[in-house]
Chains A and B, each alone.
Chain A
Amino acid sequence: AQSVTQLGSHVSVSEGALVLLRCNYSSSVPPYLFWYVQYPNQGLQLLLKYTTGATLVKGINGFEAEFKKSETSFHLTKPSAHMSDAAEYFCAVRGGTGGYQKVTFGTGTKLQVIP
């Protein structure tokens, strides 16, 4: 069994400020973790992923996330927010290897960037 909890359905930050989107997971096997971004009426775009190895992963558009096993967390950060970062962000977990494994998504966090 696996699940994802995203704390905060809405997050507002000022342009240039730090972005922090929280994600906690549970998984009965070593997890594969993902962050996706979704713009209105569009599909999901992969920001970054953690499978194995280095726990700090860097993604596109300046985002990064750190896998912390002891805290079962995979928070998404970006040092300086841009207006173009305004979107919905989903954390997701997959139970281990194999692309055919089901993916469970969090409920999403809508990021608002204030000029």
Chain B
Amino acid sequence: GAVVSQHPSRVICKSGTSVKIECRSLDFQATTMFWYRQFPKQSLMLMATSNEGSKATYEQGVEKDKFLINHASLTLSTLTVTSAHPEDSSFYICSAPGQGDQPQHFGDGTRLSIL
């Protein structure tokens, strides 16, 4: 079945570093990708929706300049956390919509730890 590949699975870096997370759709094209953030012991919160060929749509309260999203092709969406700080430490998950009535396909997530 359809698979979404997310990389890297874990990142540990110093405060002030920018971190890029990639999300690829394997064997299918995704004109839309969803980016979620999950704090410990909490649910997934939608951050933004990336759209191939156009600007991403951000949810209320999400800083566009902080979380840069680029949907470079029909199989690749990236999330860049710019000048990351400890409060940005979280679990980030991407997903691609399923075809028709099918559910979303989730990546395995990226654990981001900012020291």
Contacts and interface: CB of A to CB of B under 8 A. Distances in A.
Interface of A: 9, 32, 34, 36, 41-46, 49, 51, 90, 94, 97, 99-100, 102-103, 105-108, 110
Size class of B's contact patch?
20 to 34
Given A102-B46, A105-B44, A108-B43, A41 B109 contact: yes
A51 B106 CA distance: 19
Given A94-B103, A105-B44, 16 more contacts: A34-B103, A41-B109, A42-B108, A43-B6, A43-B93, A43-B106, A43-B108, A44-B44, A49-B103, A90-B44, A97-B101, A100-B32, A102-B49, A103-B103, A103-B104, A105-B43
Chain B interface SS verdict (over half):
loop
Contacts, number: 57
Contacts of A100: 32, 97
Given A43-B6, A43-B107, A107 B42 contact: yes
B101 A32 contact: yes
B98 interface: yes
B62 to A, nearest CB: 14
A69 B70 CA distance: 40
B99 interface: yes
A16 to B, nearest CB: 27
* The 7 nearest A-B residue pairs measured at CB: A99-B97, A43-B106, A43-B108, A99-B98, A44-B106, A105-B43, A107-B43
Nearest to B46: A102
Interface centre among B34, B42, B97 (most CB of A within 10 A): B97
